[in-house]
């Protein structure tokens, strides 16, 4: 898995380097970025600060999610689509399931997709759940809700995801559109004490479960309530100062997928929230 993930990240970074348009330019929601220079390598598994204290464990409890962050993901980001453009920028027609490893049950469900029925039933947001919303043309606003909770808002569908660090346990409530997400920083060895400085390199790993059924693609390709979404968030900094998030997404669904579906997503940092444009869910 790690080898495949690094291969996807390398391809995503290469795509960023040759990019000539932004995802949202086609919909008039943002100006196209200039072609960036070759980016620096994404944050990896490099070592952090040397551990301190007796036995290398430091003093006090482990740091909070915010205090232990090896990278800063906060701010406004715009999605830049470098793969699957024709399925992500517009809603594909019913029956266009190319590139998705779906099984026959998923095909049968998608073949009867009717956006008018979804709208009438109040289900216009079925493509805006955690496995789908990140692939839509959108902007993100990432903030810290508290020291152990990162908030990721998407203006597409006006959605919000919460990433929980530390020993947080899911409350066990009803499945929801964004599910329950646990988060951890993946870094090199470091001390556990709260007084330890954060490591210099690393990435964010999130795992989302307890999802309501929804759509992987807006043309009705389903995922079930048994879906697990794992994401690896890496930060790439370029010599010209541009910053990019590269997200490797891993979707596992024993109900509708014939195998694990692994893709990568790219988001470019914006200077401020002047282009932030919350919009309601749309079934088409």
pLDDT at 22: 39
Q: How confident is the model at residue 193 (pLDDT cuts 50, 70, 90)?
A: low
Confirm whether 192 is domain-assigned: yes
Q: How confident is the model at residue 24 (pLDDT cuts 50, 70, 90)?
A: very low
pLDDT for residue 27 is more than 90: no
Beta bridge partners of 151: 143, 162
CB of 222 within 8 A of CB of 213? yes
Instruction: Give the residue from 84, 108, 88, 115 showing the smallest Cα distance to 15.
Output: 84
Q: How confident is the model at residue 46 (pLDDT cuts 50, 70, 90)?
A: very low
Q: How confident is the model at residue 44 (pLDDT cuts 50, 70, 90)?
A: very low
pLDDT for residue 56 is more than 70: no
Distances (CA, A) of 46 to 101, 187, 190, 191, 206: 33, 7, 11, 15, 19
pLDDT at 10: 54
Between 250 and 191, name the one with better pLDDT: 250
Domain enclosing residue 84, as ranges: 2-270
Which residues, including other chains, have CB under 8 Å from residue 16's CB and lie 6 or more apart? 36, 39, 80, 82, 236, 244, 246, 266
Q: How confident is the model at residue 68 (pLDDT cuts 50, 70, 90)?
A: very high
pLDDT at 28: 40
Q: How confident is the model at residue 90 (pLDDT cuts 50, 70, 90)?
A: confident
For the chain, the domain total comes to 1
CA distance 282 to 161: 19
149-183 burial, b if ≥16 CB within 10 A, otherwise e?
A: bbebbbbbbebebebbbbebeeeeeeeebbbbbbb
pLDDT for residue 54 is more than 60: no
Q: Degrees (nearest 5) of the Cα angle 101, 103, 104? A: 145
Torsion region of 253: left, alpha or beta (phi above 0 gives left; psi -120 to 50 gives alpha): beta
Confirm whether 134 is domain-assigned: yes
Confirm whether 283 is domain-assigned: no
Confirm whether 277 is domain-assigned: no
Residue with tokens 């499945």: 175
CA distance 273 to 159: 16
Confirm whether 280 is domain-assigned: no
Confirm whether 170 is domain-assigned: yes
pLDDT at 29: 41
pLDDT at 4: 56
pLDDT for residue 189 is more than 70: no
pLDDT for residue 60 is more than 90: no
Per-residue pLDDT tens over the stretch 226-247:
999 999 999 999 999 999 999 9
Half-sphere exposure in the Cβ direction for 262 (13 Å, CA):
15
Per-residue pLDDT tens over the stretch 140-150:
999 999 999 99
Confirm whether 33 is domain-assigned: yes
pLDDT for residue 8 is more than 70: no
Tokens of 207: 């795992």
Q: How confident is the model at residue 59 (pLDDT cuts 50, 70, 90)?
A: low
CA distance 18 to 242: 14
Per-residue pLDDT tens over the stretch 253-277:
999 999 999 999 999 999 999 999 9
pLDDT at 281: 98
Range 3-12 average pLDDT? 56
Average pLDDT of the chain is: 84
- What one-character DSSP code corresponds to residue 83? S
Q: How confident is the model at residue 9 (pLDDT cuts 50, 70, 90)?
A: low
CA distance 94 to 271: 38
pLDDT for residue 31 is more than 50: no
Confirm whether 279 is domain-assigned: no
């Amino acid at each position: 898995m790690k080898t495949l993930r690094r291969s996807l990240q390398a391809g995503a970074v290469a795509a960023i380097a040759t990019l000539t348009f932004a995802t949202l330019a086609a919909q008039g929601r943002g100006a196209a970025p200039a072609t960036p220079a070759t980016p620096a390598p994404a944050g990896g598994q490099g070592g952090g600060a040397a551990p301190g204290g007796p036995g290398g464990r430091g003093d006090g409890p482990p740091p909070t999610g915010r205090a232990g962050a090896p990278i800063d993901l906060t701010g406004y980001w715009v999605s830049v689509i470098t793969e699957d453009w024709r399925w992500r920028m517009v809603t594909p027609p019913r029956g266009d399931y190319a590139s998705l490893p779906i099984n026959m049950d998923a095909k049968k469900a998608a073949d009867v997709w009717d956006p008018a029925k979804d709208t009438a039933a109040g289900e216009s947001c079925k493509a805006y759940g955690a496995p789908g919303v990140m692939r839509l043309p959108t902007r993100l606003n990432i903030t810290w809700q508290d020291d152990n909770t990162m908030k990721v808002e998407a203006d597409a569908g006006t959605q919000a995801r919460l990433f929980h660090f530390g020993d947080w346990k899911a409350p066990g409530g009803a499945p929801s559109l964004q599910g329950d997400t646990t988060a951890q920083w993946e870094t090199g060895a470091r001390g556990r004490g709260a007084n330890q400085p954060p490591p210099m390199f690393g990435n964010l790993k999130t795992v989302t479960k307890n999802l309501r059924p929804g759509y992987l693609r807006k043309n009705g390709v389903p995922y079930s309530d048994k879906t697990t979404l794992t994401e690896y968030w890496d930060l790439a900094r370029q010599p010209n100062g541009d910053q990019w998030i590269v997200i490797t997404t891993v979707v596992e669904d024993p109900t509708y997928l014939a195998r694990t579906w692994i893709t990568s997503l790219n988001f470019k940092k914006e200077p401020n929230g002047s282009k932030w444009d919350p919009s309601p869910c749309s079934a088409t």
